[in-house]
Amino acid sequence: MDGYFLSVNINSFISEPLTHDFMRKAILISSLVAAVCGLLSSFLTLKGWALMGDAVSHAVMPGVVVAYALGVPFSLGAFIFGVGSVALIGFIKQKSRVKEDTVIGLVFTGFFALGIVLVSKIKSNIDLMHILFGSPLGISLSDIQQTIFISILVVLLLSIFRKDLMLYCFDPRHAKTVGINVGFLHYLLLTCLSLAAVVGLQTVGIVLVVAMLITPGATAYLLTDKFDRLSLISVLSSIVSSVLGIYLSYWFDIETGGSIVLVQTFIFLFAFLFAPRYGIFKFKKLLSSK
C-alpha cells in the first residue's frame, strides 16, 4: 500500500504541474537556457572568467531597460551593454593603475546602478522584479522566440569553435604561434557570455544568472579529467537543476530563480563532498584501500 501511494505521489509530483501550459513552457525554456549556460560554463570555469561572468550579467541591465523602452528586442540592448562593459573594463585597466578585479567590480556596479535608475525613470511596463529575479513562469511568446534563436546561435558558435576555444583557455600563446586569431576567440567567448547572460536572466534573473554560468562548470570540474565529459556533465547538471528547481518552486510556492540556483548549489556541494577523485571524502581511495 505504501509503495502504491508513493508511486502515485511521485507520479502526480511530476505530471500534475505539466497540466498547466505555463509550466510546460517554463520547463522547456528553462531547460534550453540551462543547456546553453551549462555548455558555456565549461569554458568559463576553465578560463577563470567567473568574475567576468558576474560583471557582464549585471552590466546588461541598462541595455534591457533601454531596449524595452525603445521597443527593440531586449537581447540587442543587453548584448550591446554586455560587450560595452567588457570593452570599458579593458580600457580602464590599460589606462590606469587600478587592478583588474577592482575595475571589473566598479564598472559592473556602475552599469547595474544605471539600469536601476533607468527603470525608475522610464515609465513603462517593465517589472523590475522580473528583470532582477527572472520570471520563467510568465515568459511571453516573443521572449520564447528570442530565447530559442539566441540559444541555437550560442550552441552553434561554441560547437564550431569548440577546439579553438579549448586551446584558447589552455594555452593562448600556442594558439597565437600557430596563427590562430586569439583576439577573435576572446571576443567570441565574450559574445557568447553576453548572449547567455541575456537568455539566462529570463529564468533566474540578472542577480543570479552568474550562478547558471559558473556553478555547473565548477561541479563538472570536480567530476572529470576529460573536457568533453566536463561539458556533458555541466549541461546535464544544469538542466536537472532547472527542471527540479521549477518543480520545487511549484510545489513549495518558492521563488523560481532562487530555487533553481539553490538546487545547483546543492549539486555542487554534493560533488564537493563525494566526487570520486576530487571530493573531500575521495571515495575511490577509500574503496581501493580496502
The site for another protein (CB under 8 A) is made up of 46, 94, 160-161, 163-164, 166-167, 169-171, 173-180, 221, 224-227, 229-230
Q: How far is the CB of 43 from another protein (least distance, A)?
A: 12
CB-wise, 95 or 290, nearer to another protein?
Answer: 95
- Other CB atoms within 10 A of residue 284 CB: 13
CB-wise, 24 or 226, nearer to another protein?
Answer: 226
Q: How far is the CB of 188 from another protein (least distance, A)?
A: 12
Q: How far is the CB of 97 from another protein (least distance, A)?
A: 9
Q: Could you tell me if 248 and 266 are in contact, meaning their C-beta atoms sit under 8 angstroms apart?
A: no
Q: What's the CA angle centered on 204, arms 117 and 233, to 5 degrees? A: 140
Alpha carbon distance 137, 140 (integer Å): 9
Q: How far is the CB of 14 from another protein (least distance, A)?
A: 34
Q: How far is the CB of 209 from another protein (least distance, A)?
A: 25
Q: How far is the CB of 159 from another protein (least distance, A)?
A: 9
Q: Which residue has the cell 567588457?
A: 86
CB-wise, 229 or 285, nearer to another protein?
Answer: 229
Alpha carbon distance 100, 88 (integer Å): 12
C-alpha cell at position 179: 596563427
CB-wise, 71 or 183, nearer to another protein?
Answer: 183
Q: Which residue has the cell 550591446?
A: 80
Q: Could you tell me if 180 and 169 are in contact, meaning their C-beta atoms sit under 8 angstroms apart?
A: no
Q: What's the CA angle centered on 86, arms 83 and 182, to 5 degrees? A: 90
Alpha carbon distance 223, 234 (integer Å): 10
**236: exposed, middle or buried (C-beta count within 10 Å: 0-12, 13-18, 19+)?**
middle
CB-wise, 225 or 253, nearer to another protein?
Answer: 225
Q: How far is the CB of 169 from another protein (least distance, A)?
A: 8
CB-wise, 149 or 227, nearer to another protein?
Answer: 227
CB-wise, 120 or 181, nearer to another protein?
Answer: 181
Short-list 115, 195, 99, CA closest to 147: 195
